[in-house]
Structure 1
Amino acid sequence: MRITNNTMIYNFLSSLNKSLEKANKIQGQLADGRALHSPSDDPIKVVRSLRFSTSLELNKQYAQNAQDALSWMTTSDDHMQDLSAIMISIKEQVTQASNGTNPESAVQTIGDAVDNLINQMINIGNSQLGGRYIFAGQNDKSTPFIRNGDTITYNGDNQKISMPIHPGIANSSQDSVNRTGEDVFGPDLKILKDLIDIKNHLKSGTKEDQEWLSKTGLANIEDGHTKMLQSHTELGTRMSMYEMAKGMLEDNYTIIAGDQAENDSIDIAMGIIDYKNAENVYKTALQVGARIMPMSLVDFLR
């Protein structure tokens, strides 16, 4: 096989360029500490890095959902505690009014106080978070509770708001974060309607009314408060689940980020050794090339 001068020059320059390219690549990796700059660097590691990035983004979104859900539920929890306190206050006042020793005027005064407490409950029911009504179901842009005299209407719906914290389709029974008007005040707002009825008996204040209050009225308050506490307990259980999930998501983020950093980063010590080797190879190639390259016209002109 005949080796021409051009063939030797081409092979030498090709090898020299590859050595220089390798040294340049390692130098770039050492400069930013990243082993991966293009898919060709390490296809397997690049695919793995993309998977880590996707997992990090999903984890970040689920963590944000968990945080938003906890903000929503914490606000709901605070307001439900206020509602519970009002129910206790109403029970105490009705108990005082129904002991059979109060004049009608005193009972009627208690009726005014209870009426004000009902208005407070409606105001709490219309509480908002970020411009959204927290007890209105998914119809959270409209004022849910409107009182007109003794008539209270609910403009929300009974649909759950879902904030998923796991892969898959959102499930309202697993991912719901809100309490609807029905959850808080019972089907068809029974708790509020019972309180309106109690208020009317107080405003009448007769002995018959007081007797009704001591039996039916107090029983209705107790039943309504029990149902309200059950709904509050369900909310607390869901809050605990989301708090635990948030902690797990934060831990997962740290683990995934660490795995990605380990996958993408270069071993500095090994990189320095590889760079020095590539540099030595390049220098040696220059020296060898100077000796084996054929003499040119310039050499004869010297």
Structure 2
Amino acid sequence: MSIRVSSNQMVYGYQKQLNDANYRQTKLLEQGDGSKLHRPSDDSVDYSKYLRYTVSENENTQYQENVNTAISWMKTSDAALVNMTAIQTTFKEKTVAAANSTNNSDDMKAIGKEMMAEIQELVSLGNTMQGDSYVFGGQKDLTKPFSMSTEEVNRGLAKTLDENQSAYFSGNSGADDAGSLTQMLSLTGSDGNTYYLNTRDGYIYTKDFVENGYKNVVAQDSSAIVDPTRDAVGQLAGWGSTSPTEKVSKYFKNTGEIIDKTVELSGATATTGSSVPNIGSLTFKFDTVKQQIVTYQGDDKGVSMVKKNGTTEPVADTVNVTGPEIFGSDIFDDANSGNKVSGAAMLNQMLTVRAQVEGLDNEWLSKDGQTVADGVHATTVNTQTKLGARQQLYESVNTMLSNQNELITSDITNVSSTDVAKLAVQLMQEQTIYNLSLSLGGRILPQSLADYLR
């Protein structure tokens, strides 16, 4: 009986050792796929590091995808903006050419036709797509942003101030988003004369003073700014007060289309220095020009593509530019107008220029027309510059993410990969031990039941 117990113990001990050797060999063979970590029990410390590194790698991969998509989006946008600025440069040249009083009606009609083709191309570029998305539509990127009307409407005629005029008349009128007054509304008085209305304070100026008279004031004092009580001929009530009853939005849509062409303004109060003593008895009508209108169906919201973890940066992470950024705003849709931003202000001003060309208004083109053309080009160039700066930032981040990915990959390799040379030696050792165990067991363990009976 004692022999049998002893033999059983010996058999059990041998089997356990043999199984342990087989288990160690199997564990080593698992590492043949290149990884030494298949479960937390393999190495709890390294496995926890491996999990952290893997999370970092997944985040890095997602950020790289975001950045690459953003760069692609911005390159598409930039290419469209480059073409836009080139067209606007040509448009400026045509405006200068049209202002030449030697042009006959056929010349002006030809220039107007070329201008319309250029505006239509700008509208087409405004509808540039990246995949299924319109890159200039804001967050409404699945909606075609720009469209031009087929019919002509009556649009308000604005007096666009040049740099010197803007500097002078911005004095007491309140500043717009750009920090200066850039436009006034053109009016025709019941006396047949043209006047300009500052919609921010309701003051009315004669056409001659806005275009020429202010220069006499500046000649006497180079630092002079507008003094409405001295320079204006009158003031319309309800404009520019704390709680104004009169706003541009009461008379015009944000595209500049007049709501009621028959409306008349009256009740002007003469100012101290008025050169029109009977200003109070005059009525005024808004000047208009018949033209097509471009509308914008997108919004002014940014599309963000996060490029790194941490706090979100809506401005820095924005990869798109919108209609309002490309085509600015004007007197009909700026912050003071009471209207929402139209998103197509400069396009509609270009259509005004084109309408004035076909109307043979050389005087307007030589002053307002050229100022408008310059402003249109400058607005788009400014937007393109900002987009280019953001694109450079994303390209720098892309390089940084690539470098980080290499480091993370290296960390993962160091913590999880198999040391092939060491593994080969361990496998040979375990295989040798296993084979010796089999050989030894065959000699020591009882061969049959007869051995127990002896």
Question: What is the CA–CA distance in structure 2 between the aligned matches of 1:113 and 1:287, rounded to whole Å?
Answer: 98
**1:169 Cα shift?**
5.9
The structure whose RCO (Cα within 8 Å, separation 6+) is larger is: 1
- The corresponding residue for 1:53 is 54
Farther-moved stretch of structure 1 (288-297 vs 103-112): 288-297
Q: Note closer, same or farther for the CA distance 1:169–1:138 as it changes in structure 2 (3 Å cut).
A: farther
Structure 1 stretches lacking a partner, 5+ long: none
| Corresponding residue SS for 2:294 | strand
Tell which deviates more after alignment, 115-124 or 168-177.
Answer: 168-177
What secondary structure, in the 3-state scheme, does the structure 1 residue paired with 2:295 have? strand
SS at structure 2 position matched to 1:173: coil
Could you say which structure has the higher helix fraction?
1
Q: Could you say which residue in structure 2 is the equivalent of 1:173? A: 315
Q: Tell whether the 8 Å contact from 1:69 to 1:163 is kept in structure 2 after alignment.
A: yes
Match of 1:26 in 2: 28
Letter in 1 for 2:21: S
Task: Answer yes or no: is the 8 Å Cα contact 1:136–1:157 preserved in 2.
Answer: yes
Does residue 105 in structure 1 map to residue 257 in structure 2? Answer: no
**2:119 match:** 118
For residue 298 of structure 2, what is the aligned residue in structure 1?
156
Shift of 1:85: 0.7
Select between 167-176 and 281-290 the one with higher mean Cα deviation.
Answer: 281-290
- The Cα of 1:115 is off from its aligned counterpart by 1.6
CA separation of 1:48 and 1:298: change in aligned 2, threshold 3 A: farther
2:396 aligned with 1:244: yes
Q: Shift of residue 140 of structure 1?
A: 1.1
Q: What is the aligned partner in structure 2 of residue 221 from structure 1?
A: 373
Distance, in Å, in 2 between the alignment partners of 1:298 and 1:215 is 124
Provide the C-alpha distance between the structure 1 equivalents of 2:72 and 2:395, rounded to a whole number of angstroms: 11
Matches of 2:114 and 2:442, distance apart in 1: 105
2:134·2:142 contact (CA, 8 Å) conserved in 1? yes
Q: Report the Cα distance in structure 2 between the residues aligned to 1:140 and 1:170, rounded to whole angstroms.
A: 22
Give the whole-Å Cα distance in 2 for the aligned partners of 1:170 and 1:228.
Answer: 28
Structure 1 counterpart of 2:19 = 17
Distance 2:72 2:315 in 1: 19
Provide TM-score, normalisation by structure 2.
0.61
Q: Cα distance, 1:276 vs. partner?
A: 2.5
Q: C-alpha deviations, 1:8-65, integer Å up to 9, x for none?
A: 3322321221122112221332x32221222221122222222222222221111111
- Residue 284 (structure 2) aligns with: none
CA deviation after TM superposition for structure 1 residue 229, in Å:
0.7
Distance 1:137 1:300, change over 3 A: closer
2:133 paired with 1:132:
yes
- Looking at structure 2, the residues matched to 89 and 260 of structure 1 have their Cα atoms a distance apart, in angstroms, of 57
Separation of aligned partners in 2, 1:99 and 1:300: 126
Aligned-pair identity (%): 33
User: Any idea what the Cα deviations from partners look like across 1:262-301, whole Å, max 9, x if unmatched?
Assistant: 2221111111222233233334444555676578743266
Q: Please, which runs of 5 or more residues in structure 2 have no aligned partner?
A: 153-291, 330-341
Checking the alignment, whether the CA contact within 8 Å between 2:91 and 2:115 is kept in structure 1 is yes
1:174 partner SS: coil
Q: Secondary structure at the match of 2:42?
A: coil
Deviations 1:143-172 (A, max 9, x none): 111111312211100011111111246532
Aligned to 2:387: 235
Q: 1:275 aligns to what?
A: 427
Distance (whole Å) between structure 1 residues aligned to residue 116 and residue 304 of structure 2: 35
Aligned to 2:172: none
Give the conservation status (yes or no) of the 8 Å contact 2:112–2:355. Answer: yes
TM-aligned CA distance change 1:87 to 1:295, over 3 Å? closer
Counterpart in the other structure of 1:8 = 10
Q: What amino acid is the match of 1:225?
A: H
Alpha-carbon separation, structure 2, partners of 1:93 and 1:27 = 79
| Mapped partners of 1:127, 1:28: distance in 2 | 54
Q: Which residue in 1 is equivalent to 2:352? A: 197
CA–CA separation in structure 2 for the residues paired with 1:20 and 1:142: 66
Quick check: which one's strand share is greater? 2
Contact 2:148–2:293 under 8 Å retained in 1: yes
96-105 or 158-167, larger mean C-alpha shift: 96-105
Q: Partner amino acid for 1:176? A: T
Which secondary structure state, in structure 2, belongs to the residue aligned with residue 40 of structure 1?
Answer: helix
RMSD between superposed Cα atoms in Å: 2.3
Amino acid at match of 1:110: I
Kindly tell me: are residues 112 and 287 of structure 1, through their superposed partners in 2, closer, same or farther at Cα, counting changes over 3 Å? closer
How many Å separate the matches in 1 of 2:139 and 2:379?
22
